[in-house]
A and B are shown apart, each in its own frame.
Chain A
Amino acid sequence: MSKGLSLNLKKMFVIAAKDIKTYYGKPPSLFYGIVLPFALFGAFLAGRPCVTEEYRVVGVTVLSTFFGGTTIAAVILPLERRSGTIDRLILAPISFKTLLLGKSLAGFTFSFPITLLVLSIILPFTGFWNLNPLLLVISIALSVIFSCAFGLAFSASANDVADVMWPMNFVRFFMIFFSGVFMPIDEIYLFMPSLKFIAYLLPLTYSVDAVYQSIVGINDVVMLTVDFTVLIAVTIGLYYVAYRRFVKTLT
């Protein structure tokens, strides 16, 4: 590994460690990152008891990755900007890419272990079906990374948490209800099958499918490959958007 790369990685971890220490305990992180997804999950279960057990597990997994990753990334940058501490990072000899990756690493270390913890509590009670542990870890990791990029893209130029949360929640809820988080896509679009294409435009659909196949067993290798490819491509695209928006704040 070159010296430059190892220094960048070190700084990425330094920024993430500082964010963990500083922002994990903040009310918006706890509410939007933990309380809201589980409350949403509970509310859905209460309203739709017919949902299958596999979908309950997939639903709670995807909600945990999606809300945890997006929230931390979306909370940290506006809070740093508001307190002026973002200037300290901009003035430090680190590239903006490293800075943003450090921020998303903080989101990853928040959402990834929480999701694994939740699954390790739930799965012994639900049965393991044809669970593929390695594939599940990869699917969760990719979903969290995508979610962090999503949160960063929204918050890269924001000065206030509320300015990010309102538009982001609108998009997040839209994606949750139209990506098959709680039930198969076919059932969601049962009354209007022509609108099914919406699901395939939403990256969360691919996250749901990857987690689903990891838990209940691989049933479509091609679709699984598409899932990973789309998640990686969208993540790169979102990081690019976040980077451009962040750099634009300097003008």
Chain B
Amino acid sequence: MHSGSAGKAEAVEPRVAIEARNLTKRYGEFTAVNNLNLKVHEGEFFGLLGPNGAGKTTTVKMLTGLTKPTEGEALIMGANIMERPIDVKRIIGVVPEVSNIYVEMTAWENLIFAAELYDVSRDEAFERAKTLLEVFGLYERRHDKAANFSKGMRRRLAIAMALIHNPRVLFLDEPTSGLDVQSTRNIREVVRRLNRDGVTVFMTTHFIDEADNLCSRVGIINKGQLVALDTPEKLKQAIGERLSVEVSLQPMPSMEELKEVANDIMKTGDKFIIYTENPSTTLSELVKLASMKGWNIVSVRTLTPSLEDVFVKLTGLTAVDVERLELIRPSGRGRGRE
């Protein structure tokens, strides 16, 4: 890998770890990814968010050399993946969408095989395999064939295999899709720790809350086009959604009675959502009104635009689509809370 020139600018801004330049992939008439440009800096946790079929997996495949771009180029640490594939593959770890482990082999054999492919010395391979199996909670089952593993265990083993050679850049394609809560938490925690230790992470996900919670920067891809690229918070600000206060009162007042606080009110179930420019003023007026009218405030919270709102706005999906397509988990449903 060439290290690039050492200059003042580089000392301030981290080196570019992943770069897509006009990356395009066409399958016949169908364009899966269209003219994608992005840079991910070293040590960054980047999330590529998009609905199913948006082009996330194709993007990862082009960035990792699993598929050849129709146009454009992919660079890892400055090296073109198509021109210097062996150099690049030595420093990346890839976890594809499907847990590609050898089910006929044990967890231990899978890890040692992966280590041998990456020229990891025998002693180091044994040490790292033990550590990784412990980290992913698989050490007790190390001599079991992977065929007997649950989906979550297979996923954890696939990630462990991608880490056996200490990659500097880690690609994760839908790492927690379809997994149980325990596996999801384990994977998120490990990946978060890896990123803290300096590993650049490029993760695709269709779970909005996952991207919001883990990623320092997010790209939203829809129909092969990158439609947004920024930090989750900046994206939320950028869409200019109104702020609101959600309140539940006992006994339940009428909409007319609440109009003394604000005009734009929506009733959802046993709650009211009061849209406002200034939540703190609205909140104090609401408390005054409740005390005056003898209402009991059961719950109250201010709502800010969530990444889900950004996603819905930019992808053209409706909130119902988002729920139907399981783009959010039950725990992460709804707008952002303050």
Contact = CB atoms under 8 A, between A and B. Distances in A.
Interface stretch (B38-46, B64-72, B277-285): B64-72
A7 B86 CA distance: 13
B94 A91 contact: yes
Given A7-B119, A91-B89, A14 B113 contact: yes
Contacts of B65: 90-91, 250
Given A14-B117, A93-B89, A251-B68, A87 B105 contact: no
Interface residues of A, number: 21
Contact of B68 (A87, A93, A250): A250
B66 A88 contact: no
Interface in B168-186: none
B303 interface: no
Given A18-B105, A22-B105, A93 B118 contact: yes
Contacts of B98: 83-84
A87 B86 contact: no
Interface string B100-125: 11111100010001101111000000
B137 interface: no
A172 interface: no
Contacts of A91: 64-66, 89, 92, 94
B116 A11 contact: yes
A122 interface: no
B194 to A, nearest CB: 18
Given A84-B96, A95-B86, A90 B117 contact: no
A93 B117 contact: yes
Given A14-B117, A95-B86, A251-B68, A88 B104 contact: no
B104 A21 contact: yes
Given A21-B104, A22-B102, A90 B66 contact: yes
B90 interface: yes
Contact of A89 (B99, B103, B117): B117
Contact of A87 (B66, B113, B119): B66
A142 to B, nearest CB: 29
A5 interface: no
B63 to A, nearest CB: 11
Contacts of A87: 66, 94, 96, 100
A87 B67 CA distance: 10
Contacts of B87: 93
Interface in A21-71: 21-22
Contacts of A92: 89, 114, 117-118
A7 B67 CA distance: 25
Nearest to A23: B104
Interface in A221-251: 250-251
A85 interface: yes
Interface in B57-96: 64-68, 85-87, 89-90, 92, 94, 96
A93 B66 contact: no
A21 B146 CA distance: 14
Contacts of A84: 96, 98-100
A83 B105 CA distance: 14
Which of A14, A22, A83, A88 gathers the greatest number of chain B CB atoms within 10 Å?
Answer: A88
A94 interface: yes
Nearest to A7: B119
Contacts of A88: 100, 114, 117, 161
Nearest to A249: B67
Nearest to B67: A250
B100 A85 contact: yes
Interface in A72-103: 83-85, 87-95
Nearest to A18: B113
Which of B64, B90, B104 gathers the greatest number of chain A CB atoms within 10 Å?
Answer: B104
A7 B102 CA distance: 23
A18 B102 contact: yes
A92 B87 CA distance: 10
Which of B64, B94, B98, B100 gathers the greatest number of chain A CB atoms within 10 Å?
Answer: B100
A84 B96 CA distance: 9
Contacts of B92: 91
B117 A94 contact: yes
Contacts of B161: 88
Given A18-B102, A18-B105, A93 B90 contact: yes
Interface in B120-174: 161
12 contacts: A7-B119, A83-B100, A84-B99, A85-B100, A87-B96, A87-B100, A90-B65, A91-B66, A92-B89, A92-B114, A93-B118, A250-B67
Interface of A: 7, 10-11, 14, 18, 21-22, 83-85, 87-95, 250-251
Which 5 residue pairs of A and B lie closest in terms of their CB atoms, listed nearest first? A84-B100, A92-B117, A84-B98, A93-B89, A14-B116
Given A85-B101, A250-B66, 8 more contacts: A11-B117, A14-B117, A18-B113, A83-B100, A87-B66, A88-B114, A91-B94, A95-B86
